[in-house]
Structure formats: C-alpha cells, structure tokens
Amino acid sequence: MYRVLAWIIAAPLYLLSLLPLRVHYLFSDIIRFLLQRVLKYRRKVIDINLKAALPEADAAARKKIAADYYEYLADVICEMVWSMTRSGRHIACKGFYRVDPEGEKVMNEAYRTSPSVMVLLAHTGNWELASDVPYYMQDPAFSSDDMTVAYQTLHSKLSEQLFLILRRVRLPKEGGLVPSHKVLRYMLQNRGRRRMYFFISDQYPYGGVSKTTKFLGLDTEWAFGGESVARKLHLPVLYVYLDRVRRGEYVIKISQICSDASLCREGEITQAYSALLEKDILSRNENWLWSHRRWKNILNYKI
C-alpha cells in the first residue's frame, strides 16, 4: 500500500520534471519565499545551529547566512525534481556539475589500484546528484553501475518508499542503494567486485557505535560505519566536497584521507573527515544542511 501511495505522489513530480531548468528555478524562488517568510521552516533549528557553530558571526551575519541557506535549499529541492527525467550525461552536458581535475585523478587512481573504495561525503552542494559523478568526469575509471550508496532507513514507511523511488532514478536497481545496517554484509558478499561505496557521513548517529570530535567548536557525534567498514576491508578512504559555486553550477572536490584504512588508528579517519568538512563549511557557510538537528547530544532544539 505504501509503495502505491508513494508512486501516486511521485507521478506528478515526474511530469513536473519535464519542464526546463530555468522554470524550476522560478519555482525555487517561490519555494524559498514560502520556506523563509511564510512557513519559517525550521527557523529555530537553523538559528540555534548557526549561533552555536558560528559564534563569531553577529545577528546580521547569521540572518544573511540563513537567507542564503533557504535559497540553496529551495534550489536543491527543485534541481532534484528536474533531474528525475534527465540522465547523468544530460546533466553533465548542461555544465551543472563538474569534477575538479585533480580530484578526478585521485578518485580514478584509488579505484584502479584498490579492491574497492570508500567515499565519505556530506550534505553539501546537491548531494542527491552525486551518484552521477562518473558523467561529470572527463575520463572516469568506473561507471554508475560500479557504485553503491549506503543510506539510513526512514521511520515513516511512506517516506521510505518515496525516497527509494526518487533515489533509484539515479542508481542501478541492483546494489545501487543499500541500507547502512546491511552494507557490511553486502560488501563482504561482493568482495570480488571492485566498487565505489558512498557514505553520507554527517548525519546524527541513530544507535550503534559513534565517535565524537570537536567540529565547528562543538562536541559532535558521528556515525562510525564508513570508517569501521573501510578499516575491516583495508580500503582507501576519499573525502568528497560538493561545492555550490553559484545557482546551477557545482564543483566536486576530492581528496584522499588514507590509502589503507586498516593502517589508521580508530577514530583517525572520522577526525580527518570532520576537519575537512569544517574547513569547507567555513569557506562557504550556506552550503550545508543547517536545518538538520545535528547536535541533539548538546543543543536543546525544543526551545
């Protein structure tokens, strides 16, 4: 039943996606106004996060970051709908996303010389389109069929089904999406296949083992799955930052955290990841999901 309801919701979005991108950006301007001015979507959460994580920013600066963030969030929503009926090749031809040349070398080299590769990314840029990364490269050593994205299952069954429908537009049905709690088993079963494993690692850890680092000046808990799996399987670990240069233009920047995770001390990879992400957020404040309740362990979001 939930799957049927999800398709009923998704069907109009597919039709809407056929419109040109410039029309979607007109919708984005309207959505931004509604989110920011009318609904005031998670405004308290955003304010609490900004005040705690960027204490040097005064009220005027935080207001500007919040306004830019609403624009960014609305664009991500509309770009995702637009992409539902566009192939990765089409998106690449539009110049929408491109991979930094040095980053492309890093990613290709890791894939060619390793049994598989662990890729850690965050809610930056338009993370929903990151699975098309081979199309954004000049000479990719792998294809989207070689990619697996680990994801956290949702509590709502309807939301879960809708999420799977929208995500599978961009990924192969077999092995493209794997729940994070099943990804180790999947990787062990596919040890003979060279693959790129993508983990969005800046979510609040719901259960399981976590690690704490100082991030944006705050004691921050991180899901430990990506590092743990990489250490068990001796994988190289890459960090990917999705930089939003301007509306409709994103650059993927890639760096290597380590060549063999088993040689790193426990928590070392998570520490390196959090430091790299912090640096990128500070360079472009609005380009991160500030409306998440990221610091449930120390901040009171019920105020």
pLDDT in tens, 6-55: 888 889 999 999 999 999 999 999 999 999 999 999 999 999 999 999 99
Say if residue 137's pLDDT is above 70: yes
In a domain, 293, yes or no: no
| Spacing of C-alpha 190 from chain mean position | 24
| Residue at 289 is within a domain | no
pTM above 0.85, yes or no: yes
CB 32 within 8 A of CB 71: yes
Residue type, 227: E
> Residue 302 domain-assigned?
no
CA–CA separation, 225 and 146 (whole Å) = 20
The CA distance from 229 to 185, in Å, is 10
CA distances from 183 to 148, 177, 179, 187, 251 (A): 9, 9, 6, 6, 28
Query: Does residue 45 form part of some domain?
Result: yes
* Band of pLDDT at residue 168, cut at 50, 70 and 90: low
Q: Does the residue 13 lie in any domain?
A: yes
The rounded distance, in Å, linking the Cα atoms of 178 and 148 is: 7
Domain holding 151, by residue range, is 2-283
Residue 86 DSSP class: -
Distance from C-alpha of 124 to C-alpha of 126, rounded to nearest angstrom: 6
Q: CA triplet 9, 10, 15: central angle to 5 degrees?
A: 115
Is 101 inside any structural domain? yes
Instruction: Indicate the number of domains in the chain.
Output: 1
Whether 260 maps to a domain, the answer reads yes
Q: What is the pLDDT of residue 153?
A: 78
Burial classification of residue 43, based on how many CB atoms lie within 10 Å of its CB (0-12 exposed, 13-18 middle, 19 or more buried): middle
The pLDDT score that the predictor gives to residue 208 is: 67
Q: What is the per-residue DSSP string for 172-220?
A: -TTTSEEEGGGHHHHHHHTTTS--EEEEE--SPP-SS-EEEEEETTEEE
pLDDT per position as a tens digit, 84-118: 999 888 999 888 999 999 999 999 999 999 999 99
With CA atoms as reference, report the closest residue to 262 among 233, 224, 226: 233
Q: Residue 182 above 80 pLDDT?
A: yes
Range with the poorest average pLDDT among 25-34, 92-101, 130-139, 200-209: 200-209
Please report whether residue 147 resides in a domain: yes
- Quote the mean pLDDT of the chain: 92
- Residues of the chain with pLDDT > 90, as a percent, come to 74
Please report the pLDDT score of residue 198 as a whole number.
Answer: 95
